[in-house]
Amino acid sequence: MVSCRNVSVSYEGFSAVEDVTFDVLAGDYLCVVGENGSGKSSLMKSILGLIKPTSGRVTFDGLGPAEIGYLPQRTNVQQDFPASVHEVVISGRAGRHGPFAFYSRSDRARVDENLERLGIADLRRKSYRDLSGGQRQRALLARALCAAERLVMLDEPVAGLDPMMASEMYDILEGLNRDGMTIVMISHDMKGALRYGNRILHMRKKVLFFGASDEYVGTDAYRLLNAEGGE
Amino acid sequence: MSSLFDLLRELFSYGFVIRAMIVGLLVSLCAALLGVTLVLKRYSMIGDGLSHVGFGTLAVALSLNLAPLQLSIPVVLVAAFLLLRLSENSRIKGDAAIALISSSALAIGVVVISLTTGMNADVCNYMFGAILALSVSDVYLSVGVALVVLIMYVLSYNRIFAVTFDENFARATGMEASSYNMLIAALTAMVIVVGMRMMGAMLISSLIIFPALTSMRVFSSFKRVVICSGVLSVFCFFIGMVVSFGFSTPAGASVVLINLAAFCVFSAAGRAGLKV
Ligand SMILES: Nc1ncnc2c1ncn2[C@@H]1O[C@H](COP(=O)(O)OP(=O)(O)O)[C@@H](O)[C@H]1O
Ligand SMILES: [Mg+2]
């Protein structure tokens, strides 16, 4: 579905990602793990076309850029943004239309469907800035699902959530994956990654491990991350 | 009540007042709409920078006897793209660079003026606005600019929201975020040039910033904030003009003060728990 070949990313001479090669297959639940600053977000952004890889290539197999959903790493930028949940979620559809288009009935139906699926239909009129952390993540996931047909890329979707909300998030993702959605998720939560993901990509600028999650536990890479304070 | 009525009747019997009202209401509306995005994207410094660049260009045009608008529209447009690039690039201190450009443009304007015409009434008008300065062709220009801004804004509304809320997501899902930023910057540049002569170069940016900030105190969806900003801006302009006429105060400054009053009222309402 997605193939990365020798992708490197650098910021004005500082290299963040080096020579990363891996594939995402349809139906995968790929968890990307690694310490802070190991280049996970940069790799994801280069796949999404937000930053240009300095070398290497990302190719998509029958998948346009408007068919990928994205849940960005949490920032404080939108903390205070005046927007209703409905406005946020439907903006996931904006990229599918021409530059001057309005939303259609099918866009609205898609929004309803995803709000239902994530259990936040009752929040649609609420303001995004009044939501709790977990509700915000769901709203942003709903937006990603409005954009995605078959693939979602999630940058630390459970970071900052309490264990209850995190496990609800995992349940939602598991359900999506079962329904055929391919998931690429960056995570700090090793237990969650091993339990739900079918593949692991462990990064430290380069790829330390890429393969099935049940093979990962025995490797040096796994021990390295866990010894260094990963969960 | 009847005296207010008389005041209004008298006000609208002057051609220059009608011209100022038309230009001002259109500029207020457009500035408020663009302002919501500029404030939320933390680009409001751009408005301030552009008005100073606009003043510098007007001063140069004045002393060289060039047509002021024909010169300032292209210069301010170019400045808009430059300032946008500086704001987008957070690595070099974008806001500091903008402050640098805007005060330099102001300084150039002031020096050029003092070397040529001197600090005369014209110059003062450019800095603090003058409703008498508006000609019939200014009215046509402002109607044209306002139409362009309103049509582009309405047609691009959904994408403007998406890009304002989350530029990275917008780009990841196939939108040309930077061209929307450019659109906003270009429209802002035009509105500033058109509005500057009436409101004054020092005061025009408040038309961009105030209505958006005020609306956000109370309203909590994007659409409501946009609509409220537009309505409020037009309302404050109108009241400001009436006050300016009634008390013989400068028009631009009066409008700004009415905006300030509205901001205080909305802030108090927001504090008191009024959230819509
Ligand atoms: N926009 C940027 N400009 C410069 N350096 C950056 C930028 N974004 C990330 N970096 C650097 O690149 C490295 C990798 O960052 P990132 O991809 O965010 O890592 P992760 O998501 O794994 O924590 C870090 O050292 C970070 O400081
Ligand atoms: Mg990251």
Q: Is residue A139 a contact partner of residue A85, using CB atoms and an 8 Å limit?
A: yes
Q: In which band, very low, low, confident or very high, does the pLDDT at A77 lie, cut at 50, 70 and 90?
A: low
B86 contacts chain A (CB < 8 A): no
Please tell me which of the candidates B40, B161, B275 has its beta carbon nearest to residue A91.
B161
State the Cα–Cα distance between residues B37 and B187, nearest whole angstrom.
12
**Residue A35 pLDDT > 60, yes or no?**
yes
Q: By residue range, what is the domain housing residue B229? A: 2-271
Surrounding ion ligand 2 within 5 Å at CB are A 41, 73
Of A160-174, B118-132, B137-151, B247-261, the poorest mean pLDDT is in B118-132
User: Would you tell me how many other CB atoms lie within 10 Å of the CB of residue A79?
Assistant: 10
With respect to residue B109, please indicate whether it lies within any of the assigned structural domains.
yes
Domain membership flag for residue B129 = yes
pTM of the predicted model as reported, rounded to 2 decimal places: 0.89
Residue closest via CA to ligand 1's atom 21 equals A41
Relative to the alpha carbon of A45, which ligand is closest?
Answer: 1
Q: What is the pLDDT of residues A155-193, one digit of tens each?
A: 999 888 888 888 888 999 999 999 989 999 999 888 888
Q: Which of A72, A78, A127 sits opposite B220 (nearest CB)?
A: A127
Ligand 1 atom 26 nearest Cα: A37
Look over chain A and give the mean of its residue pLDDT values, rounded to a whole number: 88
Q: In the structure, which protein residues have their CB atom closer than 6 angstroms to any atom of ligand 1?
A: A 11, 14, 16, 34, 36-42
Q: Quick one: how many helices (H) and strands (E) in chain B?
A: 13, 0
- Average pLDDT, stretch B138-142? 87
Cβ–Cβ under 8 Å, residues A196 and A187: no
pLDDT number for residue A228: 55
Q: Where is average pLDDT lowest: A37-51, A112-126, A213-227, B220-234?
A: A213-227
Indicate if the pLDDT at residue A93 is higher than 80: yes
Determine contact: B154 vs chain A, CB below 8 A. Answer: no
Which pLDDT does position B138 carry in this prediction?
A: 82
pLDDT one-digit tens code per residue, B228-245: 999 999 999 999 999 998
Instruction: Please report whether residue B276 resides in a domain.
Output: no
Phi, psi for residue A118 in degrees, rounded to 5: -95, 5
Q: Is the Cβ of A78 closer than 8 Å to some Cβ of chain B?
A: yes
Cβ–Cβ contact A103 with B under 8 A: yes
Judge: A81–B158 Cβ closer than 8 Å, yes or no: no
Q: CB neighbours (10 Å) of residue B68?
A: 20
What's the total number of domains in chain B?
A: 1
pLDDT value at B1 more than 60: no
If you measure CA to CA, which chain B residue comes closest to A149?
B173
Using CB atoms within 10 Å of the CB of residue A76, give its burial: 0 to 12 exposed, 13 to 18 middle, 19+ buried.
exposed
CATH of the domain at B105: 1.10.3470.10
